[in-house]
Amino acid sequence: MNKIILALDTTNLSEAINVTQKVKNKIFTIKIGLEMWNCWGKEAVKKFNQIGINNIFLDLKLADVSNTIKKSILALDGINFEYLTVHSFAGNDSIKKAKEAAKQLNPNLKILAVTLLTSINQSELKSWQINNKVEDLVLNLAKNSSEADGFIASGMESKMLRENFPDHLLFTPGIRMPGDDKHEQKRVTSPSEALKYSDKIIMGRGLTRGNIEENLNQILNSLKI
């Protein structure tokens, strides 16, 4: 099964659907993030359900007290999706409540804990007066949210997380082909590097800028080497 998740970070729903239809048979699923969610909400998910995508990755990065998280997830009733993100720093109590709510919605719904955003590196941690190494902080965040079904983390930490949490899902953003613009991302890896230990990779602009079919074929070919 394909390991690429297409991140649709846009408010243009019709364009996102058109792009998805071109490649939906070559990707694992799509990711709907805050930009599209805040503009379209459940309507966006329903539109993708209508074209046959029901295993949607809903990247809402929830972070709140446990009961609020549970109620927020229960409010997502009526749409089909299979992955939902909660921030690791919300803690295992919130993760447990999230999983309780998830089971009520859909037995297949997986809760993924976001560890440290791939736009943050060691120098930024230092500017916040956080003395932990990035790897140590990611591991601590993962331990703090170990009740989750999986983690969102950079490919730079995927080996470490795989060794410490062999049964958890690992989804990796911050994916760039050699020579690509990193934009705001700082802890990046190539598709092949990330997939040594991660289950899925999440790609947005690296796919959607230019011809998405050509870009996707280039990435798929790189994974065959």
The pLDDT tens digits for 82-95 are 999 999 999 999 99
What pLDDT sits at residue 73?
98
User: Does 42 qualify as catalytic in the annotation?
Assistant: no
Give the structural domain span for 51: 4-222
Question: Which CATH number goes with the domain that contains 126?
Answer: 3.20.20.70
Quote the pLDDT of residue 180.
Answer: 63
125-150 pLDDT, tens per residue?
888 888 889 999 999 999 999 999 99
- pLDDT on residue 107: 94
Judged against a pLDDT cut of 80, whether residue 43 lies above it is answered with yes
- Using CA atoms, how far apart are residues 20 and 26, in angstroms rounded to an integer? 10
Calculate what percentage of the chain has a pLDDT beyond 90: 76
Which of 3, 61, 96, 159 does the annotation list as catalytic?
61
For residue range 159-214, list pLDDT tens digits in order.
999 999 999 999 999 897 766 655 667 678 889 999 999 999 999 888 888 899 99
Q: How many domains does the chain have?
A: 1
Answer with the residue of higher pLDDT: 218 or 49.
49
Average per-residue pLDDT for the chain: 92
Rounded Cα–Cα distance for residues 63 and 88 (Å): 8
